[in-house]
Amino acid sequence: MNHEQEMYEIILHAGNARAFAFEALDAAEAFDFAKAEELIKQADKALAEAHKTQTRLIQAELNGQAGEKSLLMIHAQDHLMTAMSEQKLIERMIRLVKKLKES
């Protein structure tokens, strides 16, 4: 796989993870916590796929096979890190919604 394809792969999986996480938040707002939990699991899987590609790229660079630095690479990295941050925040928000529902 060439570096450009790997960048698109990171963007794709990170975008899917974000979508699943926001769907999970929507489910939690509707008090459907089982659906929210399942969607967070799907987000975790998508992030894991993006992270696997990122790790491959880092390992290649450490082995002297670095690809060209590009705006696409920066965008892919930014997309992944944003998705990871948003998912953690959404997981916390879901826990808060659950606590509010219980009280």
Q: What is the pTM of this model?
A: 0.91
Give the DSSP letter of residue 69: P
Domains contained in the chain, number: 1
Residues forming the active site:
75
> Exposed, middle or buried: residue 2 (CB in 10 Å: 0-12, 13-18, 19+)?
exposed
Across residues 46-51, what is the average pLDDT? 97
Which residue range(s) make up the domain with 54? 3-102
Q: What is the pLDDT of residues 52-92, one digit of tens each?
A: 999 999 898 889 887 778 899 999 999 999 999 999 999 99
Q: Residue 60's domain is classified under what CATH number?
A: 1.20.58.80
Q: How confident is the model at residue 40 (pLDDT cuts 50, 70, 90)?
A: very high
Identify whether the C-beta of residue 12 lies closer than 8 Å to the C-beta of residue 81: no
